[in-house]
Amino acid sequence: MIFTTKAEYGVRLLVELGRQEGDRPVALKSIAENERLPLAYLERIVALLKRAGLVESTRGAHGGYRLARDPSEISMDEAILALEGEVAPMSCFYDDSSDERVLCSHADETEVCATRVLWLRVQGGVTQALSRTTLAELVAFAQREPVETKPTAGAELPLHDAA
């Protein structure tokens, strides 16, 4: 699997926050029950979103979480970056990586590496799909209503028949 459950749970959490958008923060417990996800694990996941500035928290009784911005201003590449880290099709694509196993000189910009070209295209495909999708769209899907907010160019395509 490409993405882990962090991405799945984290995005669902964001969608849930987007649906319940109001003046009062939403307690994680209610989301955990709604989505039937383990609360303790969700706590760690929402911490990632908070650190990335996508979510704000209020402590204490009647506390909880709310979106830091309008859902239409939150793109999925930001969310996935926060949840999973940099989208890299191969380990040596990470900045910090000194993966000794894959000793192709991917990192060496000057040398033309055949596989690097391929992974760059894949990376581009993923980040495009992510950046073109906003949280507002997903919230609209979850509410089974047509998209109201103006989506980013190209985002109205489901893209899933494009393979």
Binding region for a second copy (CB under 8 A): 1-3, 5, 7-8, 11-12, 15, 36, 76-77, 87-91, 93-94, 101-104, 112-115, 117-133, 137-139, 141-142, 144, 158-163
The answer to whether 86 touches 94, Cβ cutoff 8 Å, is: yes
User: Minimum Å distance from CB 60 to DNA?
Assistant: 2
**Using CB under 7 A, which of 11, 65, 67, 140 touches DNA?**
65
**Residue 47 within binding range of DNA, rule CB under 7 A:** yes
In this structure, the chain runs to a length of 163
The secondary structure of 90-114, three-state, reads: CHHHCCCCCCCCCCCCCCCCCCCCH
Residue 66, contacted partner among a second copy, DNA, none, CB below 5-8 A by kind? none
Q: Which two tokens stand for residue 125?
A: 């495909």
Nearer to a second copy, 58 or 94 (CB): 94
Residue 94's contacts (CB-CB under 8 Å, 6 or more residues apart) are 85, 86, 88
